[in-house]
Amino acid sequence: MKKAKLNFKLFFSTMILTFLFSGSALSQDGKIVLTNKVFKQVIKKDKQGKTTYEYIEPGTALPGDVMMYVISFENIGTDPAEGIVINDPVPNNSKYRVGSAAGKNTKITFSIDGGNVFGDPDELVVKDKDGKEWKAKPESYTHIRWIYNKPLAPGEKAEVSFKTKIKGNE
């Protein structure tokens, strides 16, 4: 049991480090700095039975845990930044949570092929070796792309986010 717990902690630490250094942003103008954070969802019930969700820094994470990833971006340049595009992978051993990708003033698209081609969920099609096609499911998403659709003024910050569920307890 200790060995399995230790291996999972190693996996989780690797997953977080991969996430922290894997996001990318492109901008035609300005200088953009990214900050990545990961949080673990904790479900709490009050005395009246009302459920609330809190997001805490994860000490450990186990299969079945819901994780929220937040990518903040700031224009540290002296000119407005336009054409900002943020691409981020869905962490390995995780499934994207349907409808969880968010970002004010963004167009959100997804990839199922490792980040080469992005599209709206209804446009993503999986094809097997026999040529049979079907609509891609959210658990097939490998990357998420946010296109920020307004200029980001010097010193201005914005953020995008998404949630996953760690695979293993299905």
Please state the three-class secondary structure of 41-95 as a single string.
EEEEECCCCCEEEEEECCCCCCCCCEEEEEEEEEECCCCCECCCEEEEECCCCEE
- Tell me the CA distances in angstroms from 59 to 5, 13, 55, 132, one per residue in order: 13, 10, 12, 43
Entry pTM: 0.79
In this prediction, residue 23 carries a pLDDT of 52
In this prediction, residue 128 carries a pLDDT of 86
Element (DSSP H or E) covering residue 6: helix 2-22
In this prediction, residue 5 carries a pLDDT of 42
| pLDDT range class, residue 12, cuts 50, 70, 90 | very low
Domain extent at residue 70: 2-166
In this prediction, residue 127 carries a pLDDT of 85
pLDDT exceeds cutoff 70 at 3: no
Please give the structure tokens belonging to residue 12: 């989780």
pLDDT exceeds cutoff 80 at 7: no
| pLDDT range class, residue 144, cuts 50, 70, 90 | very high
For residue range 62-114, what is the model confidence (pLDDT) as tens digits?
999 999 999 999 999 999 999 999 999 999 999 999 999 999 999 999 999 99
CB 115 within 8 A of CB 142: yes
Round the CA-based radius of gyration of the chain to a whole number and report it.
18
**More confident position, 50 or 9:** 50
Find the CATH number of the domain harbouring 147. 2.60.40
Instruction: Quote the number of domains for the chain.
Output: 1
Cα separation of the two ends of the chain: 20
pLDDT exceeds cutoff 90 at 20: no
| pLDDT range class, residue 25, cuts 50, 70, 90 | low
Query: What does the pLDDT average to over 16-31?
Result: 50
Q: What percent of the chain has pLDDT over 90?
A: 69
In this prediction, residue 170 carries a pLDDT of 59
Question: Phi then psi for 14, rounded to 5 degrees?
Answer: -65, -40
DSSP state of 97: P
